[in-house]
Amino acid sequence: MPTSRKPIISGNWKMNLNHFEAIQTVQKLHYSIPKEVFDKVDVSVHPPFTDIRSVQTVIEADDLDLLLGAQHCHWDDKGAFTGEISPAFLAKLDVKLVVCGHSERRDLFGETDEMVNKKVHAIFKHGMTPIMCCGESLDEREAGETEAKVLTQVAAGLAKLQADQVASMVIAYEPIWAIGTGKTATADDAQAVCKAIRGAVGAQFGSDVAAAVRIQYGGSVKAGTTVELMAQPDVDGALVGGASLDPDEFSRIVQFAAD
Ligand code: 13P
C-alpha cells in the first residue's frame, strides 16, 4: 500500500469476551505492541456493547493508543427501538469507529443496503468513522458475480455522502465464505476486489477521494497471511475476527502491518 494511507488493523470481537476478559485483553494487547508501532498503524478494538464502557475507562486511564470501536449501531439518536444502540451514546463513550453492514448483520439480522447507508450517515453525524463492510457469498463468487455484488453494496452504502466523508472512512471487503472458515481469499483476489472498490469510489467521488479512502480485507486473517495481504497496493489494513481475540496473534498482525 502507498505510504500516504496509514494502515488500519481492526479487531472485531463479535459476541466474545465479557467485560472482565475485555479489560485483560486490551491491556495485554497494548503491552505487546511496541509504542512506535502506533505511529505507523491505527489499531482499533470493537468489543461487545456491554464491554465498551469498561474498555473506554482502561484506554483513558492508562492512556492507551488503541482506538475504541463498536460493532454496529442504529441510525436514530434515540427512541422506541428495543435493544438497539444509539450512535449518540457511542460517541459519548468516545467510540471512534463503528463497523456497519457486516455480513453477519446483513444475513442473520436482515440489514439491507438502505439501512447500512442510514447507519453510515448517522455515524458521521456523531463525529465517528464508519467501517462499512461488503462481500460476496460463495455462490456469488462461483457464479462470477463478486464485483457486481460488492460494487452494488458499496454504491448503495455511500449514497448521498460528501466526498470528504468518503475520503475519511474505511471500507472493509470481507468475502463471506472466508469469514471464520479458515479460508482466505488469495492476496491477488483480495487485491483485485479492493482495486475494483477503489475504482468505483474514484468514478463516483473523484481520484483524490479514491486515493484517500482506506480499504481493509477481512476473512480468516492471521499473522501468517498479513505480510502478503499488506503488500497489495489497494489493501490498507485488515478487519480481524477470531485472531483478534488472542492478544499475541493480534499484536503480530499489527506489527506485520507496520513493516
Ligand atoms: P474471522 O477473522 O474470524 O474470519 O472474521 C472476519 C470478520 O468477520 C471480521 O469482521
Q: Per residue of the chain (259 residues), what is the pLDDT tens digit?
A: 444 899 999 999 999 999 999 999 999 999 999 999 999 999 999 999 999 999 999 999 999 999 999 999 999 999 999 999 999 999 999 999 999 999 999 999 999 999 999 999 999 999 999 999 999 999 999 999 999 999 999 999 999 999 999 999 999 999 999 998 888 889 999 999 999 999 999 999 999 999 999 999 999 999 999 999 999 999 999 999 999 999 999 999 999 999 8
Q: Is 36 a catalytic residue?
A: no
Nearest to 149 by CA among 118, 107, 184: 107
- β-sheet bridge partners, residue 44: 10, 67
Ligand 1 centre distance from Cα of residue 206 (Å): 30
Pocket test for ligand 1, best of 174, 225, 246 (most atoms within 8 A of CB): 174
Which residue, by CA, sits nearest to atom 7 of ligand 1? 241
Give the pairing of strands 97-100 and 129-134: parallel
- For residues 39, 42, 48, 50, the Cα torsion angle rounded to the nearest 10 degrees is 40
Going from N- to C-terminal start, the domains of the chain cover 8-258
Q: What is the homologous superfamily of the domain 8-258 according to CATH?
A: Aldolase class I (3.20.20.70)
Give the pairing of strands 97-100 and 214-218: unpaired
Is the pTM above the cut of 0.85?
yes
* Distance separating alpha carbons of residues 111 and 30, to the nearest angstrom: 33
Cell of 235: 489493501
Pocket test for ligand 1, best of 177, 181, 220 (most atoms within 8 A of CB): 220
Q: Is 102 a catalytic residue?
A: yes
| Pocket of ligand 1 from Cβ distances under 6 Å | 12, 102, 174, 179-180, 218-221, 239-243
pLDDT of residue 2: 47
